[in-house]
Amino acid sequence: MADKIFANGIIFKEKNDNAPDFVLGSLSIAKESFLEFLDTQPDGWVNLSIKRAKSGKPYIELDTWKKK
């Protein structure tokens, strides 16, 4: 299994308790850091996965899956 590559400069925050059911959460983007991260990726598309750590905290990881 490949090492995790975290998407620098972007954070997923789960919805707060008062948000309506159709809200899943929000994204916060540190523009400069995220652009630097994007520039390190060779492909035109950058796929990201939102996952949950064992601690319960969500995180965003680069999806490195490639079709064979």
pLDDT of 47-57, one tens digit each? Answer: 999 999 999 99
Mean of the pLDDT values across residues 4-26? 96
Residue 68 confidence (pLDDT) above 90: no
Q: Give the confidence band of 1 by pLDDT, cuts at 50, 70, 90.
A: low
- Residues 36 and 8 sit within 8 Å (Cβ to Cβ): yes
This prediction has a pTM of 0.83
55, amino acid identity: S
Nearest to 40 by CA among 23, 66, 57, 64: 64
Residue 12 confidence (pLDDT) above 70: yes
Query: How does the average pLDDT of the chain come out, rounded?
Result: 94
Contacts of 43 (CB under 8 A, 6+ apart): none
